[in-house]
Amino acid sequence: MTVLKRHPVDRPSISQRFAALSNRGSHLGVDYRPDYPGQTDFPVYAAHDGYVVFAKDGPHSYGNPWEQIPGNGNNGRSVILQAVAPHQACATSYNHLGNIAVREGQWVTAGTFLGYMGWSGFVIPADPNGTHLHFELFIDYGNGQYPAGTSYGRVNPLDYFAIETIVPVAPGPGGGSGTTKPTTPAPQKPKEWYEMPIPQTDLDKITRDLLHQQVPLNKGDKAYPAGFSLSVEYLLFDARRLAQQNASQLASQSAQIKGLIGAIAAISKGEPFDEAKLLAGVKSAAEAGVKNAVDSIEKTETTTVTIKEG
């Protein structure tokens, strides 16, 4: 039997399920909690189409005494929604509301705003932190006939949601309709270690450690206490020197290759091979590369920084 078209709240989060035992006995409904403790503006909606047969704060005298919903006002401000028509089929109750936005006798459809979650009636704690919705479903309510094994028709609402809320399973052997199961989000693939972001604190520590290690190399292995100042020129000197060394080596190799190609070309034209001339050209190219490296290092700007212990 399908009764409920939707949950009575968006982003449903259940704090207590049907028939869960507590220090006050069995729990004959489902409790939904708001997004965060103390939230009093969390909307409550009709879970199905039907008539509003009760919308007030206090006990409901509809039917025999066992059907007083909410009994003795324990459920505070409540709405009872009768499916299809009054005195037929089933009903749902929405309890502990902070306010009521519908009136008795009103026809509503699934998704109609009924009010906000609250903490009226008997709740623990008896303050905004006790805000929740106590939601009940009654089968055959009002005609004195109840499903066997129920407490005056109260059944687990989670067993009566519409087919839209579940995913069908492929039919089994014999062409049957198969079974259904609740929808569950697909598990997210965990990130690989190299996809994880490096915390800024770790980046800062790595930088600090590298600076502490680099300073003794640049300053003759002299130890420096925390809080000392130094020139960025010293920190960058080695890096620039190594980079320029590589550039100089590449320039020299390039000059050598060009010289060899030139010599081969000259020989192919019948000119004599001049070894001294070739070596002089290679030497000149190498010296030019070294000079460029030295000039770049000498132009390094000086800036003062302070390294702190951490």
CATH value at residue 144? 2.70.70.10
pLDDT (0 to 100) of residue 203: 57
Confidence of residue 82 (pLDDT cuts 50, 70, 90): confident
Residues 159, 203, single domain; the answer is no
The set of residues, in sequence order, having a beta carbon less than 8 Å from that of 283 and lying 6+ positions away, is: none
Residues 82, 212, single domain; the answer is no
Reference 32, options 51, 52, 14, 53; nearest CA is 14
Mean pLDDT of 12-23: 73
Mean pLDDT of 82-97: 76
Query: Which is more confidently placed, 155 or 103?
Result: 103
Reported as a single tens digit per residue, the pLDDT across 115-172 is 999 998 888 888 899 999 999 988 765 556 667 767 767 888 888 876 444 333 333 3
Residues 117, 200, single domain; the answer is no
Residues 132, 207, single domain; the answer is no
Q: Which of 117-126, 205-214, 236-245 has the highest mean pLDDT?
A: 117-126
Reference 84, options 51, 46, 47, 45; nearest CA is 51
Q: Is residue 139 part of a domain?
A: yes
Confidence of residue 245 (pLDDT cuts 50, 70, 90): low
pLDDT (0 to 100) of residue 268: 73
Total number of domains in the chain: 2
Mean pLDDT of 174-202: 46
pLDDT (0 to 100) of residue 277: 72
Domain of residue 238, residue span: 195-306
Element (H, E) at 306: strand 304-306
Residues 85, 216, single domain; the answer is no
Reported as a single tens digit per residue, the pLDDT across 249-279 is 666 666 667 767 777 777 777 777 676 776 7
Q: Is residue 9 part of a domain?
A: no
Reference 263, options 281, 276, 282, 278; nearest CA is 278
Residues 155, 215, single domain; the answer is no
Residues 52, 154, single domain; the answer is yes
Bond from prior residue into 70 cis (ω within 30 degrees of 0): yes
Residues 160, 18, single domain; the answer is yes
**Other CB atoms within 10 Å distance of the CB of residue 117:** 24
Pick the range with the lowest mean pLDDT from 37-46, 76-85, 89-98. Answer: 76-85
